[in-house]
Chain A
Amino acid sequence: MLERTLVQTRGFRNTGPEGARTGFEFLLRLPNYRGMRASLADGVDVTVDGETFAYTANRLVVQGRELTLEQLREATDLRWAIDEPVIVRVAKPGGLAVGVHAIAVGVRIRQPYFPIEFQPSVIHETREATIVL
Chain B
Amino acid sequence: MSTQGFRYGVSLYSYTGDFGTVLTLEDACAQIADLGATGIEILGEAHVPGYPDPERAWIDHWHSLLARYRLEPTNFGCWIDTRLRLARNLTAIEAAEDLERDIRLAARLGFRYVRPKIGVVSMDLKPDPIWEEAVERVLDIAARSDIILCPEIHAPTPIRHPIVEDYVRFIERTGTKHFGLLIDTGIFQDRPLPHWPGETEDMRRTFLNGIRVDPADFLRVAQYVVFIQAKFHHIDRHLQDQHIPWERVVPMLRQAGYTGYLSSEYEGSREPWRSLEQVRRQHALLRKLERELSASPVAR
Contacts and interface: CB of A to CB of B under 8 A. Distances in A.
B122 A112 contact: no
A82 interface: yes
Nearest to A116: B83
B119 interface: yes
Contacts of A115: 120, 122-123, 125
A33 B84 contact: no
Interface in B15-52: 16-17, 20-22, 24, 43, 45-46, 49-51
B119 to A, nearest CB: 3
B117 interface: yes
A73 interface: yes
A36 B118 contact: no
B20 A82 contact: yes
B83 A112 contact: yes
Contacts of A33: 13, 16, 43, 46
B67 interface: no
Looking at chain B's contact residues, the main secondary structure is loop
Interface residues on A, range: 20 to 34
Interface stretch (A1-9, A17-25, A44-52, A87-95): A1-9
A98 B85 CA distance: 40
Given A37-B81, A39-B85, A116-B83, A81 B51 contact: yes
19 contacts: A1-B20, A1-B24, A34-B77, A35-B45, A36-B81, A40-B84, A73-B85, A73-B86, A74-B85, A81-B49, A82-B45, A83-B20, A83-B49, A112-B80, A112-B84, A112-B119, A112-B120, A115-B120, A124-B198
Q: Which 9 A-B pairs have the closest CB atoms?
A: A112-B119, A112-B83, A35-B45, A34-B45, A34-B46, A33-B16, A115-B123, A112-B81, A112-B82
